[in-house]
Amino acid sequence: MANAHPANAHPDENRLEKDFSNHGVNGNGASGYDDGSGDALTRLRTAGSVNISPEMFEKLYLSPENRVKGELRKTFGNPTPIALVGFLLSLTPLSCDLMGWRGAGGNGAASTGVFFFFGGVLMIIGAIGEWIVGNTFPFVVFGTFGAFWLSFGATLVPSFNAYGAYVTDPTVAAETMGNPGNPAGLQVPAFNASFAFFLVFMGLICFIFLICSLRTNIVFVTIFLTLVCAFACLAGAYFNLALAYENATNIAAATRASRLVVAGGAFTFVTSLAGWYIFFAIMLASLDFPLQVPVGDLSTMIKGASEKQKSSV
């Protein structure tokens, strides 16, 4: 049986189509339904092709609609939700740790495994999936944050010696000889200042993502806006910790660092709320659920360069 199309569809229409027409069809091309049943034929036509509007495409893939060769989007599932799961299950507990809720703390050290296997693995898988189906922007975003979670988790693992390498005092090093993750390194000014620069440039790349997300939706813009603020606060916290560890009498720097950590946690908590909302929206849209939640589509608000060229011709 050939692919069934809605009567009002046109081959040149600016829509994407996802083909499910092979479901319920046997190897000879005959339908598994009773051909004499009008209801069955209607169901088969409905399942055979689902038109996706530009707004729906943007909601599902967090990217303006783009054309790619082949039928990869008909072959593979949407990789966006699994990447969001990794991001949210890493960031949400970390934001609660940073704010010190219910006595939590330690900069997320209790969630090191989560950073590796949810934040790192799932986001890298999602990034590869986006690359396969030709979605450049979410591919770069998910790949960047997948690497971030792996890097952050590795910093917390003693065997990586990220902070232990800064212990240069022989008397201090002798107390934990053979332990590459000497915790004394966490109080070395150089380590804190160095880690702060990593957060500064994570904030910079999030700012670039923020500008690019202006062609996606309001929720995605909110995510990057709050991430820019969060990384700025956390970078400031580590710079102030470096000052506090350099001069033990600098109580003001220690107080500022503590407050900036809490502020950073608050911003990332808002990021998480926006992320949970858009994850919920994508899952409802993926299942063609009768209830749909808006995400504030911006893909048609700011026209792309190619669209402007077409309109000027």
Q: Output the pLDDT for position 73.
A: 60
Write out the two tokens for 230.
């969060």
DSSP codes, 67-128? --SSSHHHHS---HHHHHHHHHHHHHHHHHHHHTGGG--GGGGGGHHHIIIIIIHHHHHHHH
Q: How far apart are CA 119 and CA 3, in angstroms?
A: 39
Q: What is the pLDDT of residues 222-260, one digit of tens each?
A: 999 999 999 999 999 999 999 999 998 899 999 999 999
Of 66 and 123, more confident: 123
Asked if the model's pLDDT at residue 119 lies above 60, the reply is yes
Q: Band of the pLDDT at 197, cuts 50, 70, 90?
A: very high
CB 55 within 8 Å of CB 38: no
Of 45 and 221, more confident: 221
Q: Read off the pTM.
A: 0.76
Q: Output the pLDDT for position 117.
A: 96
Q: How far apart are CA 130 and CA 134, in angstroms?
A: 6
Of 208 and 47, more confident: 208
H/E stretch holding 52: strand 49-52
- Crossing angle of helices 251-286 and 80-99, in 10° steps, is 150
Rounded alpha-carbon distances, angstroms, from residue 78 to 125, 213, 300: 12, 19, 22
Q: How far apart are CA 24 and CA 311, in angstroms?
A: 43
Q: Which range among 26-40, 112-126, 173-187 has the greatest average pLDDT?
A: 112-126
Please state the rounded mean pLDDT for residues 29-47: 42
Q: Output the pLDDT for position 12.
A: 44
Q: Output the pLDDT for position 258.
A: 95
**Residue type (1 letter), 48:** G
Of 312 and 7, more confident: 312
Please state the rounded mean pLDDT for residues 114-123: 96
Residue 49 three-state SS: strand
Cβ density class 288-305: b for 16+ within 10 Å, e for less: eeeeeeebebbbeeeeee
Q: Band of the pLDDT at 116, cuts 50, 70, 90?
A: very high
Please state the rounded mean pLDDT for residues 56-77: 59
- Crossing angle of helices 136-156 and 121-133, in 10° steps, is 160
Of 229 and 109, more confident: 229
Q: How far apart are CA 80 and CA 119, in angstroms?
A: 13
Rounded alpha-carbon distances, angstroms, from residue 81 to 94, 130, 217, 284: 20, 11, 16, 11
Write out the two tokens for 123.
């986001």
Q: Looking at residue 297, what DSSP letter applies?
A: B
